[in-house]
Amino acid sequence: MNLSAVSPELQPVLEEVTKRFHGRIESVFAPRLNEVYFEARMDLVAGFCAHLFRKWDARLVSVFADDARAGAGVFHLYYVMALDAAHGFFTLRVPVSPETPEFLSLTDAMPSVNWQEREIQDLFGLKLRGHPNPRRCALHDDWPDVYPLRKDFDLRTVLPPFQGLRHKFRTVEGEGVFQVPVGPVHAGIIEPGHFLFSVAGEPVLYLQLRLFYVHKGTEKLFENLPVSHGVRLAESISGDSSFAHATAFCHAVERAAGVQAPARARVMRSICLELERIYNHIADVGAICTDVAFATANMHAMRLRERVLRVNEHLTGNRLLRGMACLGGVRFDWDAEQLASLAELIDGLKPEFDSLAQLVEGSSSTLDRLETTGVLKPKVARDLGVVGIAGRASGFNHDLRRDFPHAAYDEVEVHVPVYQVGDVEHRMQVRIDEVRESLSLLRQFLAKLPSGPLHTEIGELPADRVALGYVEGWRGEIFHWIRTAPGNRLARCKIKDPSLQNWPALSEAILGNIIPDFPVVNKSFNLSYSGNDR
């Protein structure tokens, strides 16, 4: 292929990789400057991913399948690698024959793909070979033998009552060892998840997770909607990240269509993304304090969060920013009075948030509960592919706003807080640092807000185009990958919420801690059941 089809940063990587695997890569195409696709056979997957990992410090950010039997006669597997330093994505596409629907697992070498590979097995019926724990994941054990993301599965199918075997947790035995179940139904309004602790005395020896109780078939729903209706569905993936998911979906569609949102809309999107980050981070600082009995700090945090939510509603008509994103831009403009209220929030929130941070940092009893609690070591975090807040507290120096600028982030300099300690205190410190950085970014965006149109017409999407949309949400990186179908619809929409990547890290962070510390360790990650389960 012509190297000029990719960005200058990616050109040396592409040249080296194509030479390294000459004769084994069947084709290469680059639909966008920072997005390159390779076609190869299954026997190349392990070597290809390992080479990019070792030589170019790439990360395997997503693994998923697509039922392309109608057109290509095969299933396709996609392995998406992020090359942060080169600001691009390499995606390896591999065919899987319907006659032998199976694929080789990478989990032993890359534990970060564990759940993603098992999802493929559950939802597409492609059997895993060499996986250390190939049990069901997305579909629970009592589900009938159906594969919902195959094209021949009708979304309106009425399934029989589930009567299969229930999930059996692994038995942990030994003198003085006993197991403590928590969930799957919890107090309050959080969604279900089953946690089984194995303890010897007080310290936790082992934690087993069972999620996907609220699997909603969201990716299947995208295939049955006009593209223009997909924004509303994307908003429902995870309620506290509604704008981020909607924007990631819009970004994917816009890249497939070859259009870009206008300058004013890109800045407005960036402002909304930062407002979403701020209100969630402030709420988490307060919630972490609540879990160690510092209720006063939580009251201050909830008051500040409420200020942000009211400005959200004033700007968009919705406290959680729903209804603002649309394909090609944003739905609503802001007048002078609305912009003034945003400027007032930025100026007023900083000293009050600084006061909250000082209150927390000055509480020795609070810090005593947070320091060295729930430690996630950097090597473990890297092996598991932990991203976002939890990753940056454990040495993960990546942020899509800086490394893959989207919206208007190419117009500002994003400072990313990174620590190596990986305990609850530093996961909270990342939040504190990011709120301050977000306020700085909001001030810059407000000063840069240009005049002009709010959206660009997308038009009719050509069929069989692929595109990766991405956003750095407040919890971590969000990916939406699409393949278009005739009639302005989607043949496939793959959703990757950061919670899918981060939930397994909770089992590592709690080891050696006591069960009463689990609520604050869990809250310091604050992962989404809905975003994970989809």
3-state secondary structure 334-345: CCHHHHHHHHHH
Helix axes 295-316, 336-361, angle to 10 degrees: 170
Average pLDDT, the chain: 93
Task: Of 83, 23, 14, 97, give the one whose Cα is nearest residue 53.
Answer: 83
* Peptide bond before residue 184 is cis, with ω within 30 degrees of 0: yes
Task: Of 470, 468, 472, give the one whose Cα is nearest residue 482.
Answer: 468
- CB 275, CB 321: distance < 8 Å: yes
Please give the average per-residue pLDDT across 459-487, as a whole number: 94
pLDDT digit string, tens, across residues 421-454: 999 999 999 999 999 999 999 999 999 999 999 9
Centroid of chain to Cα 367: 29
Half-sphere exposure of residue 361: CA atoms within 13 angstroms, side-chain side = 11
- What DSSP assignment string belongs to 439-470? HHHHHHHHHH---S-SB----PPPTT-EEEEE
pLDDT at 1 over 70: no
* DSSP H or E stretch at residue 347: helix 336-361
What the block records as the tokens of 504 is 């397994």
Q: Can you give the pLDDT at residue 529?
A: 92
Check residues 398 and 172 and name the one with the higher pLDDT. 398
- CB 468, CB 475: distance < 8 Å: no
- Are 3-129 and 218-533 equal in CATH topology? no
pLDDT digit string, tens, across residues 304-334: 999 999 999 999 999 999 999 999 999 999 9
Distance separating alpha carbons of residues 438 and 444, to the nearest angstrom: 10
Rg (CA), the chain: 23
pLDDT digit string, tens, across residues 2-52: 566 889 999 999 999 999 999 899 999 999 999 999 999 999 999 999 999
Confidence of residue 144 (pLDDT cuts 50, 70, 90): confident
- Identify the three-state secondary structure at position 275: helix
Please give the average per-residue pLDDT across 122-143, as a whole number: 90
Distance separating alpha carbons of residues 335 and 412, to the nearest angstrom: 23
What class, spelled out in words, does domain 3-129 have in CATH?
alpha beta
pLDDT at 203 over 70: yes
- CB 122, CB 96: distance < 8 Å: no
Distance separating alpha carbons of residues 283 and 474, to the nearest angstrom: 12
- CB 241, CB 472: distance < 8 Å: no
Distance separating alpha carbons of residues 110 and 501, to the nearest angstrom: 12
What are the residue ranges spanned by the domains of the chain?
Answer: 3-129, 177-210, 218-533
Q: Can you give the pLDDT at residue 358?
A: 94
pLDDT digit string, tens, across residues 208-249: 999 999 888 999 999 989 999 999 999 999 999 999 999 999
Q: Can you give the pLDDT at residue 3?
A: 61
Check residues 190 and 342 and name the one with the higher pLDDT. 342
Please give the average per-residue pLDDT across 125-139, as a whole number: 91
- CB 320, CB 312: distance < 8 Å: yes
pLDDT at 480 over 90: yes
Q: Can you give the pLDDT at residue 299?
A: 95
Please give the average per-residue pLDDT across 56-64, as a whole number: 94
Distance separating alpha carbons of residues 31 and 258, to the nearest angstrom: 9
Confidence of residue 402 (pLDDT cuts 50, 70, 90): very high
Given the candidates 3.40.47.10, 3.30.70.2190, 2.30.30.240, 1.10.645.10, the CATH classification of the domain at 218-533 is 1.10.645.10
Q: Can you give the pLDDT at residue 303?
A: 96
Q: Can you give the pLDDT at residue 2?
A: 59
Distance separating alpha carbons of residues 488 and 465, to the nearest angstrom: 11
Distance separating alpha carbons of residues 17 and 14, to the nearest angstrom: 5
Cα 199 to Cα 175, 395, 508, 522, 523, distances in angstroms: 11, 29, 14, 17, 21
Task: Of 117, 115, 109, give the one whose Cα is nearest residue 46.
Answer: 109
pLDDT at 164 over 90: no
Please give the average per-residue pLDDT across 192-221, as a whole number: 90
Residue type (1 letter), 219: E
